[in-house]
Chains A and B, each alone.
Chain A
Amino acid sequence: MTPKLPPSLRELIGRAAAGRGMSRAERADVARELTAHFREGLEAGIPPERLAEAFGDAAAAARLIARARRRTRPAALRLMHVTLKSAAVAAVLAYVSSAARLHWGEPPLAPVAERAVFAEILAPDTETPRTLEGARRAFDDLFDRLYTPGGGRLTAAGLRMLQAMKGKRDPGFRALVLEPVYFAIPATRSEAEREVAELLAAVEREIDVNGAAAAARSLEASWRQRARSTVWQLRFYPVAAMTPEVVEWLAGR
Chain B
Amino acid sequence: MRIERELMRGAGPVAVLQILAERAMYGYELATELECRSRGVLEMGHSTLYPLLYNLEAKGWVAAAWREARSGRDRKYYRLTAKGQAVLKEQRAQWRAVTDAMRRLGVMAPEPGT
Check if A64 sits within 8 Å of B45, measured CB to CB: no
Check if B27 sits within 8 Å of A33, measured CB to CB: yes
**Given A55-B47, A56-B48, A72 and B28 touching (CB < 8 A)?**
no
Question: Which A residues are in CB contact (< 8 Å) with B45?
Answer: 54-57, 61
Q: Considering the chains assembled together, what is the distance between the CA atoms of A36 and B28 in angstroms?
A: 8
Question: Quick one: which of B64-109 are within 8 Å of A by CB?
Answer: 66, 73-76
Question: Which A residues are in CB contact (< 8 Å) with B51?
Answer: 61, 64-65, 67-68
A20 to B: closest C-beta gap in Å? 14
Q: Pick from A37-45, A115-123, A155-163, A217-225 the stretch touching chain B.
A: A37-45
Check if A71 sits within 8 Å of B47, measured CB to CB: no
Q: Could you tell me how many residues of chain A have their Cβ less than 8 Å away from some Cβ of chain B?
A: 25
Chain A CB within 8 A of B37 CB: no
Chain A CB within 8 A of B58 CB: yes
Check if B47 sits within 8 Å of A61, measured CB to CB: yes
Q: Considering the chains assembled together, what is the distance between the CA atoms of A93 and B76 in angstroms?
A: 42
Q: Considering the chains assembled together, what is the distance between the CA atoms of A156 and B1 in angstroms?
A: 67
Question: Which A residues are in CB contact (< 8 Å) with B76?
Answer: 32-33, 36
Q: Considering the chains assembled together, what is the distance between the CA atoms of A32 and B76 in angstroms?
A: 9
Check if A34 sits within 8 Å of B50, measured CB to CB: yes
**Given A37-B46, A54-B45, A56-B45, A2 and B73 touching (CB < 8 A)?**
yes
Fill in one digit per residue for B31-72: 1 if any A CB lies within 8 Å of its CB, else 0: 100000000000001111011101101100000001000000
Chain B CB within 8 A of A69 CB: yes
Chain A at the B interface: SS class: helix
Check if B26 sits within 8 Å of A65, measured CB to CB: no
Check if A71 sits within 8 Å of B54, measured CB to CB: yes
Chain B at the A interface: SS class: helix
Q: Could you tell me how many residues of chain B have their Cβ less than 8 Å away from some Cβ of chain A?
A: 21
Q: Considering the chains assembled together, what is the distance between the CA atoms of A67 and B46 in angstroms?
A: 16
Q: Considering the chains assembled together, what is the distance between the CA atoms of A247 and B31 in angstroms?
A: 82
Question: Which B residues are in CB contact (< 8 Å) with A146?
Answer: none
Question: Which B residues are in CB contact (< 8 Å) with A37?
Answer: 27-28, 31, 46, 50
Q: Considering the chains assembled together, what is the distance between the CA atoms of A68 and B31 in angstroms?
A: 18
Question: Which A residues are in CB contact (< 8 Å) with B31?
Answer: 37, 54
- Shortest Cβ distance from A38 into B: residue: B28
A62 to B: closest C-beta gap in Å? 9
Check if A40 sits within 8 Å of B28, measured CB to CB: yes
Could you write out 10 A-B pairs with CB less than 8 Å apart?
Answer: A2-B73, A32-B74, A33-B27, A33-B50, A36-B75, A40-B73, A56-B48, A60-B47, A68-B50, A72-B58
Chain A residues within CB distance 8 Å of chain B? 2, 16, 30, 32-34, 36-37, 39-41, 54-58, 60-61, 64-65, 67-69, 71-72
Given A40-B26, A55-B45, A67-B51; 9 other pairs, CB 8 A cutoff = A36-B26, A36-B74, A41-B28, A65-B50, A68-B51, A68-B55, A68-B58, A71-B58, A72-B57
